[in-house]
Each structure stands twice: as structure tokens, then as C-alpha cells.
Chains A and B, each alone.
Chain A
Amino acid sequence: MTVRVAPIVLWIVVLGAGVGIIAFRSHRTSAATSPQSSTATSNDSCRLLRDVKNSRTSGFRVRRALGRNHRLLPDDFVRAKAESANAAKAKAAPAKAPPPSGYLRCSLAMNDELDSSDVIAEPVVTTTLDRPPYLISLRGQPALAELLDVGSRVDVWRGSKPIGLDLPILAIWCGESGIASCSAAVGAPDSVWRQLANSDTSTRRLIVRRLVP
């Protein structure tokens, strides 16, 4: 092999190895931490996680794909039609029952039927070592509680200075007193987490960088 060819071969080998390693890690990370799964076949799909024997349909279908920890809102549902596969069970649900509230414990694809076992009262946030969650109150920006969802990305500013950029929303958590009591759980790297936890009392604001479609 000539001196001209050898460096090119080495260069291609390193390029291939690097791309391979990064792509592998990217795939693993997205599989492990993706908060918004839009297909019914993903690892945290409700279809896979349901206990079939004890499932009890709610009589509602979801209008769009919803990720794990999504805060359920009335607009997320349409009533399931009688001819659906779970029609018999659907009859068991009250005809005019209000849409369920709470959080999804798994992900649903568009038009999936919601099972009562898919709903939990509180979001369960999976922590990762590199991005522990930090809870930021949305009291000053209540509209964000309905705008943001799991998988959205935000910048956090304190006064006129950014503290964290492009942080993922892990969950929108709301208390008993409605939308005014909502908080956003953001995944923050250590350096940002420390700044967020700083006792500075300046007004903290979230700026939306990306919304979940």
C-alpha cells in the first residue's frame, strides 16, 4: 500500500468507526430517554404494557400521538365509536362520562383507545445521570402549562440572562388548584442545575424553543 493510499484508508476507517459509535449511542439514548413516542410499537407503548385481562377501556380515543407523562386534557380525546374492537368493553363505560384526567404512564399512537390503566395520577419522571430534572414553577406563565408538553424544549432566563438553553421538558406537573399551580420538570445538565438551584430571587422565565407537534 502506498503512502498516499494508507492515510486515506486510515481516515475512512476512523470516520466510519466514529460515525458508527455515535450512531449507536444516539440510537441507544433515544430509545432509553425519548419522552415522546409516537408509534404504538415503541418500547413504552401502552399497547405493549397493558395487562390485557384486566384492561378496561375508557371509551375515548386520542386525537394525536401522546407521549409518556403527557398531562391529559379534554381536547386530547374523541369518544370511541361502538363498532370499535373493544366495543363490548366500551359499553361498560358510562355513556357521557367526562374525559379522564391525569398523566399517561405510557405512549399512545394517534387514534389509539385509552385504557383506564394507561392513566396515572402523577407523572413519573425517569432521571438520567447527565440531565437530572429540575422543577420550575409556571405561575408567572400559566399559558405554558397548556402549550408545553413532554419533549418540548425551552430556554430558561433569569432576568436578562439565560441560565439554560435548549432544555427538554420531562413533564408538566399541575397541582389541585388548576393551571395556576403548574410546574415544568426540565432536564438540566449539572452546571445549569446548580444555577437554577441558586437562591437568586430574580424573575425566572421560560422561552419556548420548540414545541411538540
Chain B
Amino acid sequence: MLSAIVTALQTSLTSSKAFLFANLLPALLFGAMNVATAALLWPEVGAWWVALDTSQKTLATTIGASITLGLAVLLSLLATSMLEVLEGKRPMLRGALRQWMTRYQTEKLERIDKQLDQFSKVRRDIQERTDEWIEKMRVARKTPWTFVSTGSTGRSEPDPLEPSREAIESVRELRVTGQPIGVDQLSTGVQAAVELLEQHAPDREGAQDEMLAAIDYARDMNQFERTRLYNARQFNYPKVPLGGSSAQPANVLAPTRLGNIGRTIQSYAISRYQLSIDVLWTRLQHVIQKSDKDAALLQDAKMQLDCCIGAWWLIVVYTIAWALVLVWQSVNVVPFVIVWVAGPFLALVSYRLACERYQVWADLVRSAVDLFRFDLLRELALPLPPGIEEERRLWNAVSQQTGYLEAMDASYKHKGP
């Protein structure tokens, strides 16, 4: 009877791929890890299992499967809450702890902003001085050759151009090893090339080419790093420095990394289109589902995120529970050390994976906002705006009207029969 119920439940629940992957898989792994740990610590568990006859084993397996399935259902029900706790939305993170963690996030963001400012300054400096450097090398190249006697005594004299060559070599080393080159280093390198050119050194051509390549490289590298940092900022933090009317609750930092990634979605939609994704997400989902491929992509990304979040919670429960049991019962420190080292490590890995998956999911939602917002307007029987400013005003009005019951003035544009 029990197995019939379990089979019916399994059939109805396991038909969903998302349930299988995001909830049942972590629950199964959790159950297996607990059984394995218990069997390793207490030989009686293995003896108990071996001592069971076939019918008892069937019953025990059925009970185990039911518990696992129940846990998977529980994970499925708590998925949103579990994510929200890690995002810092739930009141579990409050008071001094919340302030402390938010300060950390703010300081991280400020560090990125400072780095971005530095990269911008370097870019400006390189742009401003590039023409000057090229001109200096051009003029030096035209310097007439004059013989200067060094008054050689027959002994080997140090080459006076050697420091210049070393300066150019150090710039080259930075370039070929993919490191950023600063304005001062470029300036020193150009000066060294000028000296080689003025002295008509045999390697003057190579020196000039190297410095021209280094200037291009420094500009490209600066742009690459700026873009990377800007993307990291945009994908990880809600505040987008666009200026204008960006005073939005979505710009407030969350106390956790996961929370800030989540807030980038609302921040993006507001800063680009004045579209409140918090208010209109369900409606947008309805539109996205008309495109099977996009809906499947979104669902897969969310499923992977839920799997990582579920795994994180189960690893934390496993670690704390077994650490307490071992401290309470064990006379051997090794199992406790293994649990206390491996547990937090796995939790850290699953949290990082969750952050990566959340970034992917958030990016997909941002893309969906870009691609499906006009479809949503059509579904809402609203006229398509002619320009970006009109669109921003329209979305702002729709968001206010839908979410906060503020009246909007608009004429419907119904589809033809």
C-alpha cells in the first residue's frame, strides 16, 4: 500500500525535469551522505542492514525513498524562501550583522569604482599623450648622425645606451606577459626609444616599433580591463552609474553577494526602461513562455540555481548536525575534522556555483526584458512607443499603475479580429 502511494507520488512529481534536478537530486545526495556517514561511524548500522531479510529491506528502502521524496518536496516548497534568506531579504539577517555585511559589500563596490576611475584616468592620459610620444620619436628619428668620440682606452667600456635598451625591454616584458602598462612606464620607454633613435643605435627601428606596439597594447589592455570591471560591476551590483533619474530602491545594496546579483535585474530594467521587473515579472514570464526555446533556457538556468541553493542548505544542515553528533558522541577526532573541513568547503563551493548560476539567470532575465518588452506591451493592449524617452515614460506609468494603483492616461490598441 505504502509503495503504491510512493509510486503514485513519484510518477506525478518526477515528471518534472526541474523537480528531478533541482530538488530530488540534492535530497538523494543528502540522504546518501547521511547513510554513508552513519555506516562509517557506527558499524552496527551496516550489521543492522545485513541482518534484515528481503521484505524488511524492501520496507526500509521504501521508507528511505519516501523520506527522500518528502525532503525533495520540502526543498521545492522552500526554494524561494531559501534563496531569499541567502539574498538577505528575509529577517534572518538583521541588526548589526546585516549592517556589517552591507558595509563589506559597499566597500567592495567602492573598490571596484575606484579601480574604474583609475582605469579611466590612465586611458585619458594615454590618449592625451599618444600624439606627443609619436611626435617625439618622429623628431628623434630625423636627428642628423654625428660621431662622438668616447675616448676609448682599449678596455671594454659600458654601453651608455644599455639603460635605454633595458627600459624598452621591461616595457616589452609587460606587453608579452599580458600585464597592464602604466603611463609612467610608457613615458620612460618612449624616452629610451628617443635616445636610441637620436644616437642612431643599430636597434633603433626595433625600439620604435616596440614602443608603438606598447602604446597600442596599453590602450587595448586598459579598455579590456575597464570593460571587464564594468561588466563585473554591472552583473554583481545593482547600482549602475548612468546618472539621470536613477534614484530607485533597487540601487540600495543587499548584504550578500547573491542578493546584489538578484537586484541587478530590477536595477537594469529600471535604469534602461523605467520598467519595474518586481511588478511586471509574472506578466513578462507569460510572454516569454510563448517562445519555447527562451522559456526552456530560463527554466534550465533557474533549475541549476535552485539545485545549488538546495545543495548549500543541505550541506550546511549536514555539517552542523554531524559536527554536533560527533562532538557529542565520538571519541575519535578524525571524523569530526573531516566533516568540519569538507562541509564548509563544499558549502563555499556550492555558494560560489549558486552565484555563478544566478548571474547567468539574471543575465537571461535582463535579455528577456530587452527582447520581450514590446510583446508585453502588445499583450497589455498598449501602443508601442515611438522612441526611448516615450518608452521610459510609458513603462514608468504602467509599473506605477499596475503595482501601486497610480492612475495612468493611455489609450488601448486592441488587436484586430
Contacts and interface: CB of A to CB of B under 8 A. Distances in A.
Interface of A: 2-4, 11, 14-15, 17-19, 21-23, 25-26, 29-30, 161-166, 189, 191-192, 195
Contacts of B330: 22
Nearest to B53: A161
Contacts of A18: 323, 326-327, 333, 336, 340
Nearest to A25: B331
Nearest to A167: B43
Contact of B47 (A15, A21, A22, A162): A162
A165 B41 CA distance: 12
Given A22-B333, A195-B51, A166 B43 contact: yes
B342 to A, nearest CB: 12
B336 A164 contact: no
Contact of A161 (B51, B326, B327, B336): B51
Contacts of A165: 43-44, 46-47
Given A19-B333, A22-B327, A22-B332, 18 more contacts: A3-B101, A11-B340, A11-B344, A15-B337, A18-B323, A18-B326, A18-B336, A25-B331, A30-B331, A161-B50, A161-B51, A162-B46, A162-B47, A165-B43, A189-B44, A191-B48, A192-B44, A192-B47
Nearest to A6: B100
Nearest to B101: A3
Contact of A162 (B50, B326, B333, B341): B50
Interface residues of A: mostly helix, strand, loop or mixed? helix
Contacts of B323: 14, 18
B224 interface: no
Interface string B137-157: 000000000000000000000
Contacts of B331: 22, 25-26, 29-30
Contacts of B100: 3
Interface residues of B, number: 22
A164 B331 CA distance: 19
B281 interface: no
Contact of A163 (B51, B101, B333): B51
Interface in B339-359: 340-341, 344
Contact of B104 (A3, A17, A22, A161): A3
Interface in B41-68: 43-44, 46-48, 50-51
22 contacts: A3-B100, A4-B104, A11-B340, A11-B344, A15-B341, A17-B327, A18-B323, A18-B333, A18-B336, A18-B340, A19-B333, A19-B336, A21-B327, A22-B327, A22-B332, A22-B336, A161-B47, A161-B50, A162-B47, A163-B51, A165-B47, A192-B44
A189 B45 CA distance: 12
Contacts of A162: 46-47, 50-51
A162 B52 CA distance: 10
